[in-house]
Structure 1
Amino acid sequence: MSSSVFKESIERYAEIGVDVEKALSTLEQVPISMHCWQGDDVGGFESPDAELGSGLAVTGNYPGKARSIDELRQDIEKAMSLVPGQHRLNLHAIYGDFSSDKADRDAIGVQHFQSWIDWCKTQKIGMDFNPTCFSHPKADDGMTLAHSDESIRQFWIEHCKCCRHIGAEIGKQLGSACVNNIWVPDGMKDSPADRTAPRQRLMASLDEILKEDYNTDHLLDAVESKLFGIGSETYVVGSHDFYLGYAIKNQILYCLDAGHFHPTESIADKISSVLQYIPEILLHVSRGVRWDSDHVVVLDDPTKAIFEEIVRGDHLSKVHIGLDFFDASINRIAAWAIGTRATQKALLLALLSPNEKLKQLEAAGDYSARLALMEDARMLPAGAVWEEFCHRNQIAGDFKWLDEVRAYESEVLSKR
């Protein structure tokens, strides 16, 4: 039953031209792609002693991380049970089922991920996919698709081809297009003598990977840039300029990762610009603290700005929302829940903003009223609307969901 506070919220928002029920209906329809790698610190299941490499780092050793596919699925199910709305799974290639069919990355196939597809069917969710071009002996020197050694470069080309084939089958079987996102760590720690040749090789590699056409109802290709990484502080081959140009030229998705730009640079302002030239984008919602540290997403100003831009620009149908953070210093299920719920709250706040009235004031040149309305709207009771959203989805509200995490920690995680 709706609370009196929620009913009052409907009236308050109506006064500034906001339809709360429409906002809730829209929020219900927008899926968030929850990343699998928060559950096991980006370890994967290729080998029990896998180590994270290629400039990536996870800090902390909170007890109870997933050690198997079954444990990871169990944890993801628990995390999703704490988050209202629609879900998707975002899977990296190192998370395949290799228990009975070992394969190096240039030879992986649908069979290694069929159990994940079947699991998604039982959960009634879609799935996105990613080649894993890191944490492998052939990536130890920080180069993959831009490598000067043709045999190593070809290894990673074949890996990415395999991933596109797997992604297309995922989308076909689940009836929802799979976003297959390519990110590579390629770069150099110190100043290179030649910045051009690696980018020429990366472009040629991508051209070969994307040569085969797939039904876009099944597969959507994306490429992801980065400003710098550990071990590639001075030069990243796949920079923003490189991948934006490549995405425009080939009309594929461009991935904007909130942690892959300068710490003072917001990706919110990029959204309306990028969408002038490509049909859709992929978001990796993350939180960088001083560097690309992939902290758990919180309801901070940069996150709110991202979703304000998406909603005010009417871009929701063109944006695929995925998460990308990993924190092993806190309970991993709690991290998933906090980050995903914060992302949804940011979207809800954007949907509850008096966007049409703000645009009218702007068009009329009344910037004083525009700023005043923006500020006054911040204090409206959005929390009551969020609680109603949780209630309708039969999900624990704020201050309550953590009790479920604690119980799960006691009953399940503590026994690992």
Structure 2
Amino acid sequence: MSNSANLQKTFELAVERYESLGVNVQHALDRLRDVAISVHCWQGDDVVGFEGSDGALGNGLAVTGNYPGRARTPCELRSDLELAYSLIPGKHRLNLHALYGEFDGPVDRDAIGVEHFQGWIDWGRSQGVNLDFNPSYFSHEKASDGFTLAHSDSGIRQFWIDHGIACRKIAAAMGAAQGNACVNNFWVPDGWKDSPASRKDPRERLAASLDEIFAEKLDAAHTLDAVECKLFGIGSESYVVGSHEFYMGYAISRNKVLCLDAGHFHPTEVISDKISSVMMYVPELLLHVSRGVRWDSDHVVTYTDELQSIMQEIVRGDYLDRVHIGLDFFDASINRVAAWAIGTRNALKAVLAALLEPTETLQQLERDGDYTGRLALLEEQKMMPLGAVWDYYCQSAGVPVGAEWLDKVRAYEAAVQSQRSCEVGAVVG
């Protein structure tokens, strides 16, 4: 029997197993095909961008490792992304940072425009890849002291306000070109290493700056404004202006999308526990799915309990239409295309596992007070043949099954990435 026939047979057996629990596998796969993960561009080049800088990050960001072959130009990054997308089932998005524009010469961030991203818009159209966007409030001389939109200097604040306004216009143009909203996410690293004398003043300045950025009403069909919280960063261990409480209140009062990053909280906190609460009060939610190890270290997403819990909360709460799933990790110690493939495939596996739960049965047992049945079914669910359904989904999507994708990455590495300059690797801020 051929591998294809074996895969089909194991899938049919898996369907029977899931049907015994009342789960419609085909319905789950149909829903999974509509899930678009926003793949982050900055994994491909270690968050260096194309502004012609020396790549020094700072502002709470650090990339470790010196694996050869990072992308150095937009063309190289797009080539790497095309390979990554070919290894991932489904149609997915690309999340761009503002420092990834295509600049003919020096262009400061308050002066960037749509013309600097037209190449990305054209590429996205040709590839069927929709774009999301982010202003870049780091790796810049006007952010060297750790403050941007909350800076005490009104001139520096205005520079970063103008950057935010420019980014909204770029995001709106992207959304108009692709026919669906470009999520434009604002993360600012502002904070102090030691305890401040006033926690209030910077937060008042940040709120005022954001209000000025968002003053112009833009078509929600073209762009959605998101704001992202954080507990601490390198150099802002004691105080971050844009805390969870700050942005939760801001998003609710200004009707903005709230972004929750899996690494932006205390190590004992998880964002899966926050999703159902947040969704009661904000219109939509953006997730940056990452894997922090002891701190916000942005490791490649693996198939962890928390990843599964995040996707379970989205599916169990029927939030798929209101949650935007993006990734956020950067690892220069392994092949960067492989990192994309591993992380995105794992995120999709977790969505599939959640869609294959007997959700209605579990919730009915809970409503009936049958907690014994609920626990028993949840535990039995863990041994269901998820892998057989995932392999079938990959095959039907025309992407490699199992670890076959790694052979394609290694062939590309040998033919393309290994030919790039050896001046690549660690960028530590």
Q: TM-score range by the shorter chain?
A: over 0.9
**Secondary structure in structure 2 of the residue aligned to 1:223:** strand
Q: 1:285 and 1:24 mapped to 2: Cα distance?
A: 21
Question: How many residues end up aligned between the 2 structures?
Answer: 415
Q: 2:70 and 2:120 mapped to 1: Cα distance?
A: 19
Q: Which of 304, 310, 313 does residue 314 from structure 2 map onto?
A: 310
* Residue pairs, 1:240-319, within 5 angstroms: 240-319=244-323
**Secondary structure in structure 2 of the residue aligned to 1:30:** coil
* Residue pairs, 1:59-74, within 5 angstroms: 59-74=64-79
2:47 and 2:55 in contact (8 A); partners too: no
Q: Which of 92, 96, 100 does residue 91 from structure 1 map onto?
A: 96
Deviations 1:349-381 (A, max 9, x none): 000011110011111110001000000011010
Q: Relative contact order (alpha carbons < 8 A, sep ≥ 6): 1 or 2 greater?
A: 2
Counterpart of 1:406 in structure 2 is: 410
- Structure 1 segments, 4+ long, off by >2 Å, are none
Instruction: State yes or no: 1:199 paired with 2:203.
Output: yes
Counterpart of 1:55 in structure 2 is: 60
Q: 2:113 and 2:164 mapped to 1: Cα distance?
A: 11
1:101 and 1:112 in contact (8 A); partners too: no
How far off its partner does 1:52 sit?
Answer: 1.2
Counterpart of 1:30 in structure 2 is: 35
Deviations 1:125-155 (A, max 9, x none): 2100000000000000000000000000100
Q: What amino acid does structure 1 have at the position aligned with 2:229?
A: S
Deviations 1:108-133 (A, max 9, x none): 00000000000000011210000000
Q: What amino acid does structure 2 have at the position aligned with 1:196?
A: K
2:171 and 2:223 in contact (8 A); partners too: yes
Unaligned runs of 5+ in 2: 421-429
Counterpart of 2:86 in structure 1 is: 81
TM-score scaled by structure 1? 0.99
Q: Which of 44, 48, 53 does residue 49 from structure 2 map onto?
A: 44
1:227 and 1:239 in contact (8 A); partners too: yes
Q: 1:359 and 1:49 mapped to 2: Cα distance?
A: 54
How far off its partner does 1:176 sit?
Answer: 1.3
**Secondary structure in structure 1 of the residue aligned to 2:357:** coil
Counterpart of 2:424 in structure 1 is: none
1:254 and 1:281 in contact (8 A); partners too: yes
2:290 and 2:300 in contact (8 A); partners too: yes
Counterpart of 2:106 in structure 1 is: 102
Counterpart of 1:150 in structure 2 is: 154
Q: 1:295 and 1:376 mapped to 2: Cα distance?
A: 30
Q: 2:163 and 2:56 mapped to 1: Cα distance?
A: 19
Q: What amino acid does structure 2 have at the position aligned with 1:224?
A: E
**Secondary structure in structure 2 of the residue aligned to 1:208:** helix
Q: What amino acid does structure 2 have at the position aligned with 1:65?
A: R
How far off its partner does 1:397 sit?
Answer: 1.2
Structure 1 pair 48/197, CA: closer, same or farther in 2 (3 Å)? closer
Counterpart of 2:16 in structure 1 is: 11
How far off its partner does 1:398 sit?
Answer: 1.3
How far off its partner does 1:53 sit?
Answer: 1.5
**Secondary structure in structure 2 of the residue aligned to 1:379:** coil
How far off its partner does 1:103 sit?
Answer: 1.2
Q: 1:49 and 1:313 mapped to 2: Cα distance?
A: 45
Unaligned runs of 5+ in 1: none
Counterpart of 1:141 in structure 2 is: 145
Counterpart of 1:160 in structure 2 is: 164
1:83 and 1:337 in contact (8 A); partners too: yes
Instruction: State yes or no: 1:365 paired with 2:393.
Output: no
How far off its partner does 1:50 sit?
Answer: 2.8
Q: What amino acid does structure 2 have at the position aligned with 1:62?
A: Y
Q: What amino acid does structure 1 have at the position aligned with 2:26?
A: E
Q: 2:321 and 2:102 mapped to 1: Cα distance?
A: 33
2:248 and 2:258 in contact (8 A); partners too: yes
How far off its partner does 1:248 sit?
Answer: 0.2
TM-score scaled by structure 2? 0.96
Instruction: State yes or no: 1:386 paired with 2:399.
Output: no
Q: Which of 170, 180, 189 does residue 184 from structure 2 map onto?
A: 180
Q: What amino acid does structure 2 have at the position aligned with 1:32?
A: I
* Residue pairs, 1:217-232, within 5 angstroms: 217-232=221-236
Q: 2:293 and 2:266 mapped to 1: Cα distance?
A: 10
Q: 1:284 and 1:129 mapped to 2: Cα distance?
A: 13
1:81 and 1:395 in contact (8 A); partners too: yes
Deviations 1:303-323 (A, max 9, x none): 000000000000000000100
Q: 2:66 and 2:57 mapped to 1: Cα distance?
A: 14
Q: 1:197 and 1:397 mapped to 2: Cα distance?
A: 54
Instruction: State yes or no: 1:117 paired with 2:121.
Output: yes
Q: CA RMSD of the aligned region, Å?
A: 0.8
**Secondary structure in structure 1 of the residue aligned to 2:196:** coil
Q: 1:125 and 1:400 mapped to 2: Cα distance?
A: 24
